[in-house]
Structure 1
Amino acid sequence: MELSPERLPAQLAREPLRPAYLIAGPEPLRVLEAADAVRAAAREQGVAEREVFEPEGRDIDWNAVEATFRAPSLFASKRLVELRLPTTKPGKDGAAVISGFCADPPSDVTLLVTGGEWSRQHGGKWSEAITGIGHLVVAWQVKPHELEGWIDARLRSRNVLADRAAVQQLAERVDGNLLAAAQEVDKLALLADGSTLDGPRMQALVADAARFDVFRLLDATLNGQPAQVVRMLAGLRAEGAAIPALMGMVVMELARAAQLAQVQARGGNMANEFKAQRIWDARQAGYRRALQRHPETRWVRFVAEAGRVDRIAKGRGRWGVDPVDGWLALERLLVAVADARAGALLAA
């Protein structure tokens, strides 16, 4: 059966866990939340063991996946096996393994396949096999004319009421970014006082929540969006944000990336490192993109540069060597992280 991400939780609540689920599409937030709904349902139904397979190089080790399907559980009676396919294309070997699983699914295994793309060309016998014993959930992007309705529904789900002007204002602020919209709604759920939000009240609450924008700034940096980084820094500066208040998160994220780069350089297990650093699934893609742009040594330099920016912002920079404007120094650093071609900015 094919379902929308929003219908999946209700379906999970009224039936036993299916043997297989395929959740894919170009909207990362909807994919993540649908997959989280399957994980939550699995926990509620006694699935205590979880195994995750994702490409460490060019492809997944499909022999290991097949062996896992047929191996008895070591610690629990039921298992959730996740296959993460960024392109949602398992290839010939993967398609055969998935189809084989669906032809005779083990009673103790639930298969969850997630992917970041979907179209008619992505489907095939393997996806039809999953749909035959489970559910296909396609997470399409929310179209511009649908965004206000999506935001309004999201607000209501968090017990936040807003009039049309307020919803329009929030839609304009997030500019089509569903993850940013979800973050804003969660903040509004904490800041709202229970009354219906109008345009001016929405504007005031959004301004009060401006300190949280450092998270979106860092997401844009890791995801390689230098123009967005420049715009967001300008907005933070205009709102009166202080650089030292931002630098704690900046240093922490760059240090995380440097540690990940070290693990990657020595061929370590990236999945384990993400888990050790408590980096959520939704943010892992941003780190992976950033690690592809820069070698390990450059991340060490980024961390050192962040320390220099912090000193400049606190008035401790070296006169004649460090630029006086801390905002300029921070912009140069984050743009260099976001765009490999901008590395020369650090020497400017």
Structure 2
Amino acid sequence: MQLNLSQLDQHLQQNLKSVYLISGDEPMQLIDAADRLRLSIREKGVIDWELFHIGKSFDWGMLLQKSANMSLFGEQRIMDIRLSVMPDKVGQQALEQFIQNCLTDYIIISAPKLAKNHQNHKWVKLAIQTGVWIPVWPVEIDKLPHWLIQLAQRKNRILSQEAAVFLSFQVQGNLLAAKQELDKAFLMLEDDQEISLGFLQQQVADNSKFTLWDLIALSLTGEHSVIPEILGKLRQEKIAPFLIAKMLQKECFDIERASRLMKEGQRKEQVFNQLQIWMPRQKGVNKALGRYSAQGWQKLWVRALKLEKVAVGLEKGDFWDDCCDQLMLMAGAPIWKH
């Protein structure tokens, strides 16, 4: 069975198939489709999730071993396969066997674009025969505004038509950049506020200056010497203190969770995908994980919660001084010990 990505939401309202093969060279759409599938499957009560990042040197025997082992308590699993390259002959045979072994589970396979010869591979034919194939394609420029509006709707947010057209022009087909702009808007506006043209125009204008995202990235990578200067510029640009506190909370919370999950034995790649820590953030988060323990990042998260109270006037303090201390601590400056 083959579906267009635009048909996926309607399909998810029906009985789900055991196998989903998503293929294409547009990473944002691959991620989006897999996320929507996982969410729908989890809503059916399936919480056991196995993630496999597969490259050229992958151990296919390990994959087959996993597929042969029943889930703890015999419950259904989400078997999430992410192919960075198309498999060789050994991998093709392993995937065919894997699909046969896991038909009582839910299998999501994300793969590069399938050329015609790839579509003749036995594992691909088996996946399509027993499940659903969703090829994804780059979004055409004239269809990008509609894609952005739908993306906002899936987050229960409202993006105006004029704002969608403006953002489409600004990102020039870069879906990841478009999503990042919308994520910033989601964070700055209340759930029931429309993302308007004026709001996005101001947000894009602000991007030509140092951004809060830049500042947090520098703190995570440990470049603390530039923090006071950049924070001062953000203060001059009247960046809302409440927004800064919220962003610092999210960053500390995500890193604390990542640290705990990895300590429990989960692979870093699995944790990053689970917490949606994508490539632009991974360099900084990697360094931050080695800077403090999970308990240390929890203390920093609590500190960021207090910073929010200072920002809204519930506690006394100098927000900008306290914020600078918070960023310096996150960067590993010798101010405070965890």
TM range (shorter): 0.5 to 0.7
Contact 1:171 1:181 in 2 (8 A): no
Distance 1:286 1:156 in 2: 25
**Out of 109, 125, 133, which is 2:130 matched to?**
133
Counterpart residue identity of residue 30, structure 2: V
Contact 1:222 1:290 in 2 (8 A): yes
Relative to 1, partners in 2 of residues 1:122 and 1:37: Cα closer, same or farther, differing over 3 Å? farther
Distance 1:3 1:291 in 2: 36
Displacement of 1:96 in angstroms is: 0.9
Distance 1:3 1:65 in 2: 27
Q: What is the count of residue pairs matched by the alignment?
A: 292
Partner secondary structure for residue 107 of structure 2: strand
* 1:5 and 2:18 aligned: no
Relative to 1, partners in 2 of residues 1:185 and 1:198: Cα closer, same or farther, differing over 3 Å? closer
Distance 1:127 1:98 in 2: 9
Distance 1:201 1:273 in 2: 35
Equivalent residue number for residue 271 of structure 1: 267
Equivalent residue number for residue 98 of structure 2: 101
Relative to 1, partners in 2 of residues 1:184 and 1:142: Cα closer, same or farther, differing over 3 Å? farther
String of CA shifts for 1:74-111, please: whole Å, max 9, x gaps: 223322212222x2423332211112234x35442222
Distance 1:186 1:147 in 2: 19
Equivalent residue number for residue 83 of structure 1: 81
* 1:152 and 2:149 aligned: yes
Equivalent residue number for residue 63 of structure 1: 61
Displacement of 1:11 in angstroms is: 1.0
Contact 1:82 1:112 in 2 (8 A): yes
String of CA shifts for 1:15-73, please: whole Å, max 9, x gaps: x3322112233333322231122223323334342222225x85332112112222233
RMSD (Å), alpha carbons: 5.3
* 1:21 and 2:20 aligned: yes
Equivalent residue number for residue 282 of structure 1: 276
Distance 1:290 1:198 in 2: 32
Counterpart residue identity of residue 20, structure 2: Y
Partner secondary structure for residue 35 of structure 1: helix
Equivalent residue number for residue 337 of structure 1: none
Displacement of 1:112 in angstroms is: 1.4
Displacement of 1:161 in angstroms is: 5.6
Contact 1:99 1:129 in 2 (8 A): yes
Gaps of 5+ in 2: 222-229, 293-319, 332-338
* 1:214 and 2:212 aligned: yes
Relative to 1, partners in 2 of residues 1:24 and 1:184: Cα closer, same or farther, differing over 3 Å? farther
Relative to 1, partners in 2 of residues 1:218 and 1:78: Cα closer, same or farther, differing over 3 Å? same
Distance 2:193 2:133 in 1: 39
Identity of aligned residues (%): 21
* 1:33 and 2:35 aligned: no
Equivalent residue number for residue 323 of structure 1: none
**Out of 101, 115, 118, which is 2:113 matched to?**
118
TM-score normalised to structure 1 length: 0.59
Counterpart residue identity of residue 110, structure 1: Y
Relative to 1, partners in 2 of residues 1:18 and 1:255: Cα closer, same or farther, differing over 3 Å? closer
Partner secondary structure for residue 42 of structure 2: helix
Counterpart residue identity of residue 113, structure 2: W
Counterpart residue identity of residue 114, structure 1: S
Gaps of 5+ in 1: 224-231, 301-312, 318-329, 335-348
